[in-house]
Amino acid sequence: MNDKVFTKPIKKQFEFDEEVAAVFDDMLERSVPFYKEAQKITEFFALKNLNENGRIYDLGCSTASTLLSIHRKLSNKAELIGLDNSEAMLTRARKKCEAYGADIEVCNADILSYDYKEADVFISNYTLQFIRPLVREELVKKIAVSLKKEGVFIFSEKVISHHPKLNKELIECYYDFKKEQGYSEYEIMQKREALENVLVPYSEEENIKMALNAGFSHCEVLLRWANFATFIAVKE
């Protein structure tokens, strides 16, 4: 189903409700530059670091697309767990897992308070940016503590520049991308207004610093397009 969420006037801040869940896969592919490439890189490093009988968490798993792709390529036995607090998203995730016969556990949970078991890999695709900064840093610390030695945290985020002119141009570049995907000027402005104070992005440097401060020994960018980036943080 095509994303038409912002073709009409908005009446509330952005939330992952039934209306968004119904078109979410289309929304991602049309709203996130090089989304499929970022997914492939995430899957590659997740599979490289997921050991036999290991465990992987996807925080903010939405419709479970990432975990399903990993499941399809999995050559060893592992526990795949997706967490989200949107029941509308999870309903679609469960239907997809059932359709593909995938043994993936998807749970309605608060990723901030969830009791994580030791894991090989954590994934977070465009989720941290929706968490208030102080709480965000605490979550990343919790992820680092829950990872095994040499475990990895792969996360994708919208990023900003602290150079005002460059940041403005990055936003313009992104809006041009969205127009090429068929979104109107009206839809772009509507979504921007809906996300105001809901999505709070960090700069590339701030994301790396956050990971290092949380206890990771190394963090770097795997992929970046303008104001979108995919990071990997390693625990040693």
Find out whether 113 is annotated in a ligand binding site. no
Find out whether 25 is annotated in a ligand binding site. no
Question: Helix crossing, 18-31 with 35-49: angle to 10°?
Answer: 100
Find out whether 115 is annotated in a ligand binding site. no
- Burial label for 227, CB within 10 Å (0-12, 13-18, 19+), is buried
Find out whether 35 is annotated in a ligand binding site. yes
Give me the residue label for tokens 């503590």. 145
Find out whether 61 is annotated in a ligand binding site. yes
Find out whether 192 is annotated in a ligand binding site. yes
Find out whether 111 is annotated in a ligand binding site. yes
Q: Of 71, 82, 75, which Cα lies nearest the Cα of 106?
A: 82
Give kind and range of the element (H or E) at residue 164. helix 164-180
Q: Please give the structure tokens belonging to residue 225.
A: 């397009």
Find out whether 197 is annotated in a ligand binding site. no
Residue burial 108-133, b: 16+ Cβ < 10 Å; e: rest: ebebeebebeebbbbbbbbbbbbbee
Q: Please give the structure tokens belonging to residue 158.
A: 């919208």
Find out whether 110 is annotated in a ligand binding site. yes
Find out whether 76 is annotated in a ligand binding site. no
- Binding-site residues, in ranges, read 35, 60-62, 84-85, 110-111, 125, 192
- Binding-site residues for S-adenosyl-L-methionine, in ranges, read 35, 60-62, 84-85, 110-111, 125, 192
